[in-house]
């Protein structure tokens, strides 16, 4: 039996990305402390927006079949604190599949050794 799709969006490159219900329940919120799980739930609609309008899409350094979508969001229940959101997406087959997402107060240096897929500031794709 195929997993139920919770929602789907299209990224700026025309790729369809899906979030499966089981991935959301069991992995994105299920394997985290209560506070982290709550933030992950709160930013779900904003995750959709980041996927549709990311600041950057970069190749994952560890996995050839994954991309990381990066953007900024305001977390509503935390006095609208601005957080950096990273969304890991498996790109092996279509539609692309969300693996996980996270929100952080600060961003460590992002290494793009894997390569840049998309840079919103130049509104084009590039291969660095």
pLDDT tens-place string over residues 2-25: 689 999 999 999 999 999 999 998
* CA-angle at 110, arms to 117 and 126, nearest 5°: 20
How many C-beta atoms lie closer than 10 Å to residue 37's C-beta?
Answer: 14
The predicted pLDDT at position 1 comes to 40
The count of other CB atoms within 10 Å of the CB of residue 78 is: 16
Please identify every stretch of the chain with a pLDDT value under 50, giving residue numbers as ranges.
Answer: 1, 126, 128
Give residue 78's pLDDT.
61
Sign of CA dihedral 37, 11, 112, 121: negative
């Amino acid at each position: 039996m195929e997993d139920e799709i919770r929602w789907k969006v299209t990224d700026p490159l025309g790729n369809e990305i899906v979030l499966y219900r089981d991935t959301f329940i069991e992995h994105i919120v299920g394997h985290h402390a209560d506070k982290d799980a709550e933030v992950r739930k709160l930013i779900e609609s904003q995750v959709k927006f980041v996927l549709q309008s990311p600041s950057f899409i970069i190749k994952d350094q560890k996995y050839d079949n994954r991309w990381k979508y990066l953007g900024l969001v305001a977390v509503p229940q935390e006095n609208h604190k601005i957080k950096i959101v990273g969304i890991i997406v498996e790109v092996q087959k279509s539609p692309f599949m969300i693996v996980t997402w996270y929100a952080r107060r600060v961003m460590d240096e992002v290494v793009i050794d894997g390569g840049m897929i998309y840079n919103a500031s130049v509104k084009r794709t590039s291969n660095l």
